[in-house]
Homo-oligomer: A and B are copies of this chain.
Amino acid sequence: LEEQDPRPSPLRVEDLALGQVFEVGSRAITREEIISFAAQYDPQPFHVDEAAGEASLFKGLVASGLQTFAITVRLLMESPLYLTGGLIITRGEIQWRRPVRPGNVLHLRIEVIDVAIDSEKDRAIVGLNIQTLNQNEEVVLIFAPRLLTERRTIKRD
């Protein structure tokens, strides 16, 4: 990992240590993106209509939680934590903590909480605790996945 490099190479699973924390990503979300994503995957009124949002618990238009989660996964895949052996998410606990609104800018704080290498199968299980934060450092989502990775390096696009 070179700090100068804006797109650091992915890490090998052997490079991870418990308690390591990575701050990654920066992703703004627009009103248009919120509405178009929700229209396709989660067309609840408060995700697609400003007036319905105002009348809801949220007091305004808010992004689908599914979209916040998709952005979280995308930022993870673009980060150094996208290990050389790939990342297959096998399970995870998600908490949606705060609404995401138009103009919010999201980033991730990722802590390594488990690493278990199976030398026989040349696979490893990695546990992460991922906080997705907005531009005010407020946690909007917490995702604690268990991930399967191979120890060989997979081919990238």
Q: CB within 8 Å of B: which residues of A?
A: 41-46, 48-49, 52, 55-57, 65-66, 69-70, 73-74, 77, 86-96, 148, 150, 154-157
Instruction: Determine the chain B residues whose CB is within 8 A of the CB of A87 once the complex forms.
Output: 44
Q: Is the CB of A96 within 8 A of B90?
A: yes
* The 3 nearest A-B residue pairs measured at CB: A91-B95, A41-B70, A93-B93
- List the B residue with the shortest CB-CB distance to A92: B94
- List the B residue with the shortest CB-CB distance to A71: B41
- List the B residue with the shortest CB-CB distance to A77: B42
Q: Is the CB of B86 within 8 A of A90?
A: no
Q: Shortest CB–CB separation between residue A130 and chain B, in angstroms?
A: 13
CA distance A96 to B145 in the complex (A): 11
Q: Is the CB of A56 within 8 A of B154?
A: yes
Interface centre among A48, A66, A90 (most CB of B within 10 A): A66
Q: Is the CB of B155 within 8 A of A42?
A: no
A42-B77, A45-B155, A73-B42 known; A96+B89 contact, CB < 8 A? yes
CA distance A66 to B91 in the complex (A): 11
